[in-house]
Structure 1
Amino acid sequence: MTPFALLYSLHVLAAVIWVGGMFFAWMILRPAAVSELQPPERLRLWAEVFRRFFQWVWLAVLVLPISGIGLWHLRFDNLAAAPRYVHVMAGLYLVMLALFLRIQLLQLPRLKRAIAAQNWPEGGATLGGIRRLVGINLLLGIVVVALASARPLL
């Protein structure tokens, strides 16, 4: 396997894990949890889901820029020579990273505190905020995937 193929494969897998996980959480798990679980159980479930999923997101957050910069250097003479869609994808990654860090560092601890205090209204409000940020990140991730998929046409 060539270095380009290895980096490209790692890059795509990291994106699939992150964006696919958000799609599953938003479109499948969330509606099922709302219809089947009461707020205390639902909040505990989400805290555990985030704990497990965010371990994979951290891996993706590290692999994406390393593999992306590697691909950038292998494919283009310099960073400025890359097509506009590559710059857009890199910029969207930074926005997605900022939203993920906001969830991980600010919102998730607040959710855990609300669960520990059995403050279900506060936990629900916090989970709603997390849901909105994940929804924004999911839309951004879909745009990045669409750009990457359309690149032969750009």
Structure 2
Amino acid sequence: MVLDALLKTLHVLAVVLWVGGMVFAHFYLRPSLTEFDPPTRLALMCSVLKRFFGHVLWAALIVLATGLWMIGRAAKVMVQAGMEFNMPLAWTIMATLGVVMVVIFFVIRFRLYPPMVEAVSTADWPSAAAALSRVRKWVTVNMVLGLVIVVVASMY
């Protein structure tokens, strides 16, 4: 019981950090930065994303580990009770979209973000802006997927 509560709490907190951070960046941080000149805006976003992505890396790993653990525990309990385990549709949707989100995050963090860092470090502002645009597009996709998962979880 205590382990189940701990796993669920860690899972939800990691989701809140990840999805909430994307919502904050998309709807509040990004629009507020339009007041600044491109070099300032791009350097600040590069710095913010570095911190955010470091935390999301841990959050994504925690979400995966706790989600798999909770599914495994539920399956084990049912099998030990002599019942067949059929994963609920909501869990299947959450797990599938969650794995897709992790893959997208890894693409963002390790493929799309490094060119932005390079461009900012060399003051190549057009390239930095283009790289940030690609990052923003995929973060938006992940944010939508995360919100779908939250809706599915709240309906389950």
Structures share a fold, TM > 0.5? yes
8 Å CA contact retained: 2:64, 2:99: no
1:127-152: CA deviation from partner (whole Å, max 9, x where unpaired): 1111110100000000000011110x
Q: How does 1:19-38 map to 2 (within 5 A)?
A: 19-34=19-34, 36-38=35-37
1:92-138: CA deviation from partner (whole Å, max 9, x where unpaired): 01111111111111111100111122111111111111111010000
Structure 2 residue runs of 5 or longer lacking an equivalent are none
Partner of 1:99: 104
What is the alpha-carbon distance in structure 1 between the residues aligned to residue 52 and residue 146 of structure 2? 16
Q: How does 1:1-154 map to 2 (within 5 A)?
A: 2-34=2-34, 36-76=35-75, 77=78, 81-151=86-156
What is the alpha-carbon distance in structure 1 between the residues aligned to residue 72 and residue 13 of structure 2? 19
Percent identity between matched residues is 38
RMSD across aligned positions (CA): 1.5
Moved more, 68-77 or 120-129: 68-77
The offset of 1:75, in angstroms, is: 2.4
Structure 1 residue runs of 5 or longer lacking an equivalent are none
In structure 2, what residue type is equivalent to 1:123? Answer: A
Residues matched between the structures, number: 150
TM-score (normalizing by structure 2):
0.91
What is the alpha-carbon distance in structure 1 between the residues aligned to residue 72 and residue 100 of structure 2? 22
What is the alpha-carbon distance in structure 1 between the residues aligned to residue 16 and residue 64 of structure 2? 14
Larger radius of gyration: 2
